[in-house]
């Protein structure tokens, strides 16, 4: 399974069941994760096995520093999105190392 396939699976199995506002927000976060990987010289077409916990944490740090969110709480919400993605990968895709927890990722996106 590729990283892109894992993102799509999360989108289809978890995100799609959410109300419209979080569904849109999670979709944006997943697109930005793929964008960030490409910016780092990686590819969403890489195998999921190559995705490291540090990649998820680096995305949250980048998002907070980039000014993409209107306020610091926006980056903390993105950290929550990434935590849920990691928990999904742990529970459904056999990658327990990607379950970094909300608090760790929220700490990477300071207020």
pLDDT of the residue at 14: 97
Residues of the chain with pLDDT under 50: none
pTM exceeds cut of 0.85: yes
Question: What token pair was written down for 58?
Answer: 């680096």
pLDDT in tens, 62-78: 998 887 766 666 678 89
pLDDT of the residue at 64: 87
Estimate to the nearest angstrom the gap between the alpha carbon of 41 and the chain centroid.
17
- 107, HSE (Cβ side, Cα atoms, 13 Å): 5
pLDDT of the residue at 111: 64
């Amino acid at each position: 399974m590729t990283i892109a396939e894992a993102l799509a699976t999360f989108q289809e199995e978890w995100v799609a069941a959410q109300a419209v506002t979080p569904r849109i927000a999670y979709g944006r976060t997943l697109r930005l994760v793929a964008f960030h990987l490409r910016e780092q010289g990686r590819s969403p077409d890489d195998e999921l096995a190559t995705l490291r916990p540090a990649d998820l944490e680096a995305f949250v740090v980048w998002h907070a520093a980039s000014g993409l969110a209107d306020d610091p709480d926006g980056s903390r919400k993105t950290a929550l999105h990434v935590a849920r993605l990691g928990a999904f990968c742990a529970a459904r895709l056999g990658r327990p190392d990607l379950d970094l927890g909300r608090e760790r990722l929220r700490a990477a996106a300071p207020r």
